[in-house]
Amino acid sequence: MTQSPQPVLEVEDLSIRFQERGRSLLAVRNLSFQVARGETLAIVGESGCGKSITALALLGLVPPPGRAEGKAIRLEGRNLLGLGPEALRDVRGRRIAMVFQEPMTTLNPVLTIGEQIVETIRDHETVSRREARDRALTLLERVHIPDPVRRFGEHPHRLSGGMRQRVVIAMALACNPVVLVADEPTTALDVTIQAQILDLIDELKQGGMGVVLITHDLGVVAGHAERVLVMYAGRKVEERAAADLFATPLHPYTRGLIAARPRRRVDGGGRPRLVEIPGTVPSLAAMPPGCAFAPRCASATEDCTAAEPPLTVLKNTSLEDGQVACLRVGDFLAPSHSLPHARLA
């Protein structure tokens, strides 16, 4: 991929392995992607496809017995894989920060909001208490919290879910990170609040921050991400520019996801029946042979179960630098694209 001049985050060949009682399972396999400054990369997939654990791996937070392995997670050129605990701690919260799914539980109930922002600043930079406090107040303002001086001294239980998520974002921004990882930041919130939070993240990335947005909601992706990475069973199955993905989804799984979105009522009629992808994500311990999606795929052929389809780059087509892992991708491309051969590596 050559789309971005200087990626701020590069993940190369990342695998996440869980080893327990002699069994070794791969929750994520050979995942690579890049995020540029000011860009949002959305990672999309069903529950259990490995997107949340990928988010945790970016901050070196994979819980034991899990382990991140592979070539590199490069943040501003520096490989985080293999950093010691102290070096990793220094990077977390300062250069790369995270926003979690559940704002009700991600804040410590017994500390005030102000304390929780200030401690982040003071554990990374040598600043006076007073200066840290001023910065925390500015941060609360930046995430549009009304009356920040009052909120500063309040405990989380006094705030609504949307407000808490703003506080979590303010906390994440405390040291001006270059990458923000947001793991389902709006799942636990009302629809109207969801839009506000996503708009806020959009606004904040104007400063040149790269954003990794983890979500299962394609609706979120449409308005707020430049690129979309679709994961299935721990593997990247498609990565495209967001506009391309919605216009011509290629992988059958992506097409299933897009078809499965709830749709508006058609004129005069009822709401169209909600389409679903049959079956469920396979368990890591019982992966089907070949393409992991084959058992649920309407287009699967015998070849699909023979070997895992390689990730192919769609060069020399109008789709530029998209990537898809499907044997039959050539059949799905519209004739106008005139792909000479399905596999173009």
On the CB side of 183, CA atoms within 13 Å amount to 20
Does 157 help bind other proteins (rule: CB under 8 A)? Answer: yes
Numbers of helices and strands, H then E, in the chain: 11, 13
Q: Which is nearer to other proteins, 91 or 197 (CB)?
A: 91
Q: What are the φ and ψ backbone dihedral angles of 257, each rounded to 5 degrees?
A: -60, -45
Provide long-range contacts, Cβ within 8 A and 24+ apart, for 73-80.
73/9, 73/10, 73/11, 73/12, 73/14, 74/9, 74/10, 74/11, 74/12, 75/8, 75/9, 75/178, 75/179, 76/8, 76/178
Q: How far is the CB of 112 from other proteins (least distance, A)?
A: 8
Give the other-Cβ count within 10 Å of 153's Cβ: 10
Binding mask 184-223 for other proteins (x = CB under 8 A): ----------------------------------------
Q: Which two tokens stand for residue 188?
A: 């636990």
Q: Which is nearer to other proteins, 177 or 282 (CB)?
A: 177
Q: How far is the CB of 62 from other proteins (least distance, A)?
A: 12
Does 90 help bind other proteins (rule: CB under 8 A)? Answer: yes
Q: How far is the CB of 94 from other proteins (least distance, A)?
A: 6
Q: Which is nearer to other proteins, 59 or 225 (CB)?
A: 59
Scanning residues 44 to 73, which ones bind other proteins (CB under 8 A)?
Answer: 59, 61
* 228 bridge partner residues: 42, 240
Among the listed ranges 76-84, 166-174, 185-193, 272-280, the one in contact with other proteins (CB under 8 A) is: 166-174
Q: How far is the CB of 159 from other proteins (least distance, A)?
A: 12
Q: How far is the CB of 326 from other proteins (least distance, A)?
A: 35
Among 7, 14, 41, 92, binds other proteins (CB under 8 A): 92
Does 338 help bind other proteins (rule: CB under 8 A)? Answer: no
Scanning residues 98 to 137, which ones bind other proteins (CB under 8 A)?
Answer: 98, 100, 102, 105-111, 119-120, 123-124
Nearest to 74 by CA among 11, 5, 6: 11
Pairing of strands 323-324, 40-44: unpaired
Classified as helix, coil or strand, 135 is helix
Does 319 help bind other proteins (rule: CB under 8 A)? Answer: no
**Total of residues contacting other proteins (CB under 8 A):** 29
Q: How far is the CB of 40 from other proteins (least distance, A)?
A: 19
Is residue 243 within 8 Å of residue 226, measured between CB atoms?
A: no
Residues 41, 10: Cα–Cα separation, whole Å: 12
Distances 264 to 57, 60, 195, 201, 271 between C-alpha atoms, Å: 37, 41, 18, 26, 6
Binding site for other proteins (CB under 8 A): 59, 61, 89-94, 97-98, 100, 102, 105-111, 119-120, 123-124, 155, 157, 168, 171-172, 174
